[in-house]
Amino acid sequence: MNDITLALDVMGGDFGPRVTIPAIAKALTQKSNLSFLLFGDENQITPLLQKYSLLNHPKIQLHHTEQVIDSDIPFSKAIRQSKNSSMRLAIEAVKEGKALGCISGGNTGALMGLAKLLIEPLPNIERPALTSLIPTTNGKSSVMLDLGANIEVSNYQLQQFAEMGNLFAQVMLDLVYPRLSLLNIGTEENKGKAQLQAVHQLLKHRQDINYIGFIESDKLTNNLTDVIICDGFTGNIALKALEGAAKNLLSLFKKEKADFNICRNTKRYLLKLIFYRYYRKLQEINPDRHNGATLLGLSKVIVKSHGGANANAFYYAIDYAVQQIQSDIPNKILQGLNQSYTK
């Protein structure tokens, strides 16, 4: 395995270094080929590096930054605020070739804006799209895009999302002919938005992709399709609804677990065994394991972690970046698109 250096916006996300540093500690333990360039406030970071025995670690370089982009400001303001910010410097490290990919849990608008400003998009790509793998009930994953980068999109852009999603699924899910679907509020041809009906017709007649029609949002995790295509507003609404439902159900059960841990009776061991069966099932569908959205369509790997991610979830965002770098996703998409454009 080749060595991979990643640039990290240590300050991004709701919890900053308290989440990102333990995630790095886990990544360094799990993957021996990783190195990190860290960008953030050394006063906050150093004690945490110490806590996780990472101070002066040979695979960590810390670059002190004082500026952090607020999570709740509009893009235009964020850009003015971005100079010397942890997020911008992390992206610049990728641009300058010092790192192969960047991970941030910070302001999504700023990350996407800066990434588009600093990192070259692939030729012919009009809009990069936030892309994730979502878990399905049979233990597999589906690709979903766009998850929030583009609130409104043109018919042409939706088709590009389909092409990019197709190539992403081929590589990341190891599929020869991934099934593609447009997210809509009905499966019949006449249902839903006029734009979706139009793009449905365009995709249906293409021979180079395996478009299988509309999918509704209650089937997102049923693995009825491999790539779910939508505009960024719709994708964000659908994915967060899914995440919210999963989190709420998990929290009900975690509460049960806490209750259980303090209960004392003679059958405790047995109870634990029973509980474990349920808990393991919940772990399988834990959204933490699918944290990380990539800005597909750029020439480099830029990964957005969920702002509220915990250390475990942030670790999976790092892992998501590593997988894409190892699979050389940007180049695969470039080659794939070129093929389809010369058809």
Give the residues lining the site for its own copies (CB under 8 A): 72-74, 137, 148, 151-152, 183, 185, 188, 190, 192-193, 216-222, 232-234, 236-249, 251-253, 256, 267, 270-271, 274-275, 277-278, 281, 285
Smallest distance, its own copies to C-beta of residue 111, A? 14
Smallest distance, its own copies to C-beta of residue 113, A? 13
H or E element in which residue 7 lies: strand 4-9
Residues in the chain: 343
Smaller CB distance to its own copies: residue 27 or 149?
Answer: 149
Smaller CB distance to its own copies: residue 31 or 268?
Answer: 268
Q: Which of 244, 239, 216, 261 is nearest to 131 (CA)?
A: 239
57 Cβ neighbours under 8 A, 6+ residues apart: 28, 49
Smaller CB distance to its own copies: residue 79 or 285?
Answer: 285
Cα angle 234, 240, 244; round to 5: 150
Amino acid at 31: K
Q: Would you give the distance in Å from CA 130 to the centre of its chain?
A: 7
Q: Which of 246, 209, 247, 244 is nearest to 229 (CA)?
A: 209
Smallest distance, its own copies to C-beta of residue 230, A? 8
Smallest distance, its own copies to C-beta of residue 266, A? 10
Q: Indicate the burial class of 138 (C-beta count within 10 angstroms; 0-12, 13-18, 19 or more).
A: exposed
Smallest distance, its own copies to C-beta of residue 35, A? 34
Smaller CB distance to its own copies: residue 117 or 271?
Answer: 271
Smallest distance, its own copies to C-beta of residue 265, A? 10
Q: Would you give the distance in Å from CA 296 to the centre of its chain?
A: 10
Smaller CB distance to its own copies: residue 84 or 283?
Answer: 283
As a whole number of angstroms, the distance between CA 294 and CA 147 comes to 10
Smaller CB distance to its own copies: residue 33 or 222?
Answer: 222
